[in-house]
Amino acid sequence: MPIPKVEKIWMNGKLVNWDDAKIHVLTHALHYGSGVFEGIRAYETDRGAAVFRLTDHMKRLARSAKIYRMDLPFSVEELVEAVKETIRANNLKSCYIRPIAYRGYGEMGLYPMKAPIDVSIAVWPWGTYLGEEGIKHGVRAKISSYQRISPNVLPPAAKATGQYINSILAKLEVTEIGYDEAIMLDHQGFVSEGPGENIFIIRDGIIYTPPTSASALEGLTRDSVMKIARDLGYSLFEQNIVRSDLYLADEIFFTGTAAEIVPIREVDGRAIGKPGPITRKLQDKFYAIVKGKDKEYIEWLEFV
């Protein structure tokens, strides 16, 4: 789907026209994937657009940058303000938000410290990543033969642009044979996550999700769902999961900013079934929270 064009993109502190938000072909990050990014969403509420856990996302951007020894030229507070400014400039009630910090033009070697760090923030209306049908009825997933990157290959804790070619290989492999999304195993064979989503399973009323030591990103939707589930009284464990745990689960779902909360109705040809009651409950609560209808979690919303 083409990206719906809006008016302005924030680049290194200035709002520029969408069509002018261009970079040089010798940008370091284009050649080597030396960028870090975030995916954030703003939702429509009674008090206007509200960005879900904006500061937490920008803190993660700063952590990704730290891992790759990038000195961000803007503070977390400045980036938070810049996101709000960009949403206001484009008059959006809800949108997806894509901040990126990358090594720019000025160095072609692999020692990157002489290249500048450029930062931009783009926003646009983007529906749920795996589709509305997926949210309602669940998606079909398959375990990819591509292993998820491991900590001593590329740090899974960082959301770095280059790391996503691993996700792309997994996504391509399974979608070309008709599945909606991939599930990736870590270097030890434990379930890790989707190409751009964390994963949860439920068995006998207990919720499990792989630990970050299984190369799963510290997802903010994951963190939110963990908190919501525990507040609702469920037992939830961060625990290693093997592939047969997926096949035998009562319910499975993906979480992510782009994807939101997506039930999985089939894994590797084994039916999991229609979205189950706990998945539904967590979805309902999550959407109430992000739309500002649940005051208990109002501190997660940062109003534009």
The first and second tokens of residue 41, run together, are 């969403």
Smallest gap, in angstroms, from Cβ of residue 41 to ligand PY5? 8
Please give the positions annotated as active site.
159
Smallest gap, in angstroms, from Cβ of residue 105 to ligand PY5? 25
Q: Which is nearer to ligand PY5, 63 or 281 (CB)?
A: 63
Please give the residue whose beta carbon sits closest to ligand PY5 in the complex: 39
Q: Which is nearer to ligand PY5, 115 or 183 (CB)?
A: 183
| Residue 152, CB-side half-sphere exposure with 13 Å CA sphere | 2
Q: Which is nearer to ligand PY5, 27 or 215 (CB)?
A: 215
Q: Which is nearer to ligand PY5, 256 or 292 (CB)?
A: 256
Q: Which is nearer to ligand PY5, 117 or 226 (CB)?
A: 226
Q: Which is nearer to ligand PY5, 222 or 265 (CB)?
A: 222
CA angle 143, 144, 149 (to 5 degrees): 115
Smallest gap, in angstroms, from Cβ of residue 82 to ligand PY5? 18
CA distance 304 to 301: 9
Q: Which is nearer to ligand PY5, 6 or 261 (CB)?
A: 261
List interacting residues with ligand PY5 (CB under 6 A).
Answer: 39, 193, 196-198, 217, 219-222, 255-259
The residue among 129, 53, 48 whose CA lies nearest residue 93 is 48
CA distance 284 to 261: 10
CA distance 300 to 279: 21
Smallest gap, in angstroms, from Cβ of residue 72 to ligand PY5? 18
Smallest gap, in angstroms, from Cβ of residue 26 to ligand PY5? 26
Smallest gap, in angstroms, from Cβ of residue 171 to ligand PY5? 9
DSSP assignments along the chain, one per residue: -PPPP-SEEEETTEEEEGGG----TT-HHHHH--EEE--EEEEEETTEEEEETHHHHHHHHHHHHHHTT---SS-HHHHHHHHHHHHHHTT-SSEEEEEEEEE-SS--SS--TTSPEEEEEEEE----TT-HHHHHH-EEEEE-SSPPP-TTTS-TTS-BGGGHHHHHHHHHHHHTTT-SEEEEE-TTS-EEE-SS-EEEEEETTEEEE--GGGT----HHHHHHHHHHHHTT--EEE----HHHHHT-SEEEEEETTTEEEEEEEETTEE--S--HHHHHHHHHHHHHHTT--GGGGGGEEE-
Smallest gap, in angstroms, from Cβ of residue 114 to ligand PY5? 29
